[in-house]
Amino acid sequence: MGGLNLVLYHGGGLPRALVVGGVVLRVALAGFFVLLAWKNLSGDPQMVADWQRWGYPDGFRRATAVAQLLGAALLVPTATCFLGGALLTGILLGAIATHLLHDPLPASLSPLVVLLLVAGASAWFRPDLLR
């Protein structure tokens, strides 16, 4: 039960339903990033073609996938979710900029929505220093 308390802990006296909802959102977002990382690391042809079209080296695709995995792992536990959110925010800002430079405008909307979800999910659990 200790591990569950680490994930569900919230110091702000939030209602339990809101805390559980935050955990569900963080787990869903982490799953999303694990899926993206898997597609990048496995060499999914569409992902490889996109990264080449954007002009990024193949190693950068892999490094981004590793960062996505790390961000996903940090996002779930309450103690580290702010760090995971910060890492994923950096990745998402890069994705938005890439789509704005190389793709039609609507392509940058999905990373923007994910960015807002990551920011919201991790902001609840920011360190006291940032409150």
Helices (H), the chain: 2-8, 16-41, 45-54, 58-75, 81-102, 109-123
pTM of the model: 0.84
pLDDT at 6: 47
pLDDT tier at 13, thresholds 50, 70, 90: low
20-29, 67-76, 88-97, 119-128: least confident range: 119-128
- Asked whether the predicted pLDDT for residue 126 surpasses 90, the reply is no
Distance in angstroms (rounded) separating the CA atoms of residues 124 and 7: 13
Tokens 């597609």 belong to which residue? 39
Taking a C-beta distance cutoff of 8 angstroms, is the pair 90, 126 a contact? no
Distance in angstroms (rounded) separating the CA atoms of residues 45 and 49: 6
Any domain includes 11: no
Distance in angstroms (rounded) separating the CA atoms of residues 52 and 97: 16
- Greatest Cα pair distance, the chain, in angstroms, is 48
- Asked whether the predicted pLDDT for residue 123 surpasses 60, the reply is yes
- Asked whether the predicted pLDDT for residue 129 surpasses 80, the reply is no
Any domain includes 73: yes
Taking a C-beta distance cutoff of 8 angstroms, is the pair 98, 50 a contact? no
* High-pLDDT (> 70) share of the chain, %: 85
Higher pLDDT, 46 or 10: 46
Q: How many domains does the chain have?
A: 1
pLDDT at 59: 96
Report, as an integer, the average pLDDT of 63-83: 95
- Residue-wise pLDDT tens digits, 46-62: 999 999 999 999 999 99
Residue 27 to residues 48, 66, 117: CA-CA distances in angstroms?
A: 26, 18, 12
Any domain includes 24: yes
Any domain includes 75: yes
Give the residue numbers spanning the domain of 29.
2-6+16-130
